[in-house]
C-alpha cells in the first residue's frame, strides 16, 4: 500500500510502498478516508521522543484518522465490518498517513454521525487532549478561569469550546485576524498577542494551557491563582511524562532536570506546572462524539489536501501559515 514515511529521524517524509498492516486479534482494519496533521507529527519526525518512544523505521507518520472498517480481529466485539470510525491510534502504532491502518479497538470509536469524514479526522487528538486537560487534570468547574494560548489553533479552538461547555470563563491569546473565530467558539476574553502582554491584563487563572513554551510559559505562571495549574504542551517534560510512558527510573531523573527551572518557579509562586502528553482512549472518544453530535463542540478546519499532497500538507503546517484549526488530508 502507499504511505508517507520517514526512513530516519530528521529525514524527509516521502511516499513509499509498504506492507499492509497485520491485523491482530483485537484490531480493526481501517480503510483511511481522512487524516489530519498535528504538530506532534513534526516532533516525532525530529526525534524529540526517540529516547522514550522506540519507533521502528521506516515510520509511517500520522496520529489522527477517520475511515471505514474493512476487517476485524477474532477478539473484536465493539466494531463490525462497514462501521465508520475515528481514532487516535496509540503511541508506537501511529501511521494514519497511509491507505490502511490496523488499530486496537480500545483506541477507536464510532464516528460522530453529524460529522463528515474530513471533520471527524480533525478531532481525535485535540479533543482527547482537551478532555484530559480540562476534565482529568484540572477538574474544571463552572466559574473557574481558563487561559489557553494560541486559541485559533487546532488544540486551542477545541479547548475553548470544551471549557465553555464545562462552564468556565475562557481567556485566549490570538492574532487580530482570529478574534471573530475564537469569539464564535466561546472565548470571553481575547488578547491580541501582537499588541498586548497577557500578563498585564489577566490574573487569577485556575488553569493555563501553553503550547508556546520558553519565556511565554514562565510568564504564564505569573497569572495563575494560588494553587493554579499550568500545563505545558511543548515542554519542558517532567518525570510524570516518563511515568506515563512506562520509562525506566533514570529517565525520570533526566526529565526532572530538564524541567527543574519551571517547576522551581512554580513552587516559588505557589502554583503547579506539569508537562502534558495526551493518550489514546476510545471510551473518551465515544463521550466526545456525543458532544459533537449534540452541537456542543464543532471541528475547526483550516484547509484540506489530497492524500498525494501529504508532504505539502505537513510543510504547510510546519510553516506556521495556518489561519485557524486543523489541516486535513483526504483520500478520493
Find the mean pLDDT for residues 84-91.
97
Question: What is the per-residue pLDDT for 214?
Answer: 83
Question: What is the per-residue pLDDT for 50?
Answer: 87
Question: What is the per-residue pLDDT for 160?
Answer: 98
Question: What is the per-residue pLDDT for 243?
Answer: 84
Distance between CA atoms of residues 18 and 41, nearest Å:
19
Question: What is the per-residue pLDDT for 77?
Answer: 95
Find the mean pLDDT for residues 91-97.
97
Question: What is the per-residue pLDDT for 235?
Answer: 79
Distance between CA atoms of residues 310 and 287, nearest Å:
30
Tell me if 35 sits within 8 A of 64, measured CB to CB. yes
CATH architecture assignment, domain 2-123+299-330: Alpha-Beta Complex (3.90)
- CATH code of the region 125-275: 3.40.50.720
Query: Where are the domain boundaries for CATH 3.90.180.10 in the chain?
Result: 2-123+299-330
pLDDT tops 90 at residue 145? yes
Percent of the chain past pLDDT 90, that is, above it, reads 85
Confidence of residue 254 (pLDDT cuts 50, 70, 90): confident
Mean pLDDT for all residues in the chain:
95
pLDDT tens-digit map of 36-68: 999 999 999 999 888 888 999 999 999 999 999
pLDDT tops 80 at residue 250? no
pLDDT tops 80 at residue 247? no
Question: What is the per-residue pLDDT for 105?
Answer: 98
Question: What is the per-residue pLDDT for 257?
Answer: 83
Query: Where are the domain boundaries for CATH 3.40.50.720 in the chain?
Result: 125-275
Question: What is the per-residue pLDDT for 119?
Answer: 98
The string of DSSP codes covering 105-158 is GGGEEEPPTTS-HHHHHTSHHHHHHHHIIIIIIS---TT-EEEESSTTBHHHHH
Nearest Cα to Cα of residue 158 among 283, 299, 35: 299
pLDDT tens-digit map of 203-220: 999 999 998 888 899 999
pLDDT tens-digit map of 151-161: 999 999 999 99
pLDDT tens-digit map of 97-129: 999 999 999 999 999 999 999 999 999 999 999
Alpha helix (H) ranges present in 19-102?
39-45
Cell of residue 319, nine digits: 510553516
Give the other-Cβ count within 10 Å of 149's Cβ: 25
Question: What is the per-residue pLDDT for 5?
Answer: 98
Amino acid at each position: 500500500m502507499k504511505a508517507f514515511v520517514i526512513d530516519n529521524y530528521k529525514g524527509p517524509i516521502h511516499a513509499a510502498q509498504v506492507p499492509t498492516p497485520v491485523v491482530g486479534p483485537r484490531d480493526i482494519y481501517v480503510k483511511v478516508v481522512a487524516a489530519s496533521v498535528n504538530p506532534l507529527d513534526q516532533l516525532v519526525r525530529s526525534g524529540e521522543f526517540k529516547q522514550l518512544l522506540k519507533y521502528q523505521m521506516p515510520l509511517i507518520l500520522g496520529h489522527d484518522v477517520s475511515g471505514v472498517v474493512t476487517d476485524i480481529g477474532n477478539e473484536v466485539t465493539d466494531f463490525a465490518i462497514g462501521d465508520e470510525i475515528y481514532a487516535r491510534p496509540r503511541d508506537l502504532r501511529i501511521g494514519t498517513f497511509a491507505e490502511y491502518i490496523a488499530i486496537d479497538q480500545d483506541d477507536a470509536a464510532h464516528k460522530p454521525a453529524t460529522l463528515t469524514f474530513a471533520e471527524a479526522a480533525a478531532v481525535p487528538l485535540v479533543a482527547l487532549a482537551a478532555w484530559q486537560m480540562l476534565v482529568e487534570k484540572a477538574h474544571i468547574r463552572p466559574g473557574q478561569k481558563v487561559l489557553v494560548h494560541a486559541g485559533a489553533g487546532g488544540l486551542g479552538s477545541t479547548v475553548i469550546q470544551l471549557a465553555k461547555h464545562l462552564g468556565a470563563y475562557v481567556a485566549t491569546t490570538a492574532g487580530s485576524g482570529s478574534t471573530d473565530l475564537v469569539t464564535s467558539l466561546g472565548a470571553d476574553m481575547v488578547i491580541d498577542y501582537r499588541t498586548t502582554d497577557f500578563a498585564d491584563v489577566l490574573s487569577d487563572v485556575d488553569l493555563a494551557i501553553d503550547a508556546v513554551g520558553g519565556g511565554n510559559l514562565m510568564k504564564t505562571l505569573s497569572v495563575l491563582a494560588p494553587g493554579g495549574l499550568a500545563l505545558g504542551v511543548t515542554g519542558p517534560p517532567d518525570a510524570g511524562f516518563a511515568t506515563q510512558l512506562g520509562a525506566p527510573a533514570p529517565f525520570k531523573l533526566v526529565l526532572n532536570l530538564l524541567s527543574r527551572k519551571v517547576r522551581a518557579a512554580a513552587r516559588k509562586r505557589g502554583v503547579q506546572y506539569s508537562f502534558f502528553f495526551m493518550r489514546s482512549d476510545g471510551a473518551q472518544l465515544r463521550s466526545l462524539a456525543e458532544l459533537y453530535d449534540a452541537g456542543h463542540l464543532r471541528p475547526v478546519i483550516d484547509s484540506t489536501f489530497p492524500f498525494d499532497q501529504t508532504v505539502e500538507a505537513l510543510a504547510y503546517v510546519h510553516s506556521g501559515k495556518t489561519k485557524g484549526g486543523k489541516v486535513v488530508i483526504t483520500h478520493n
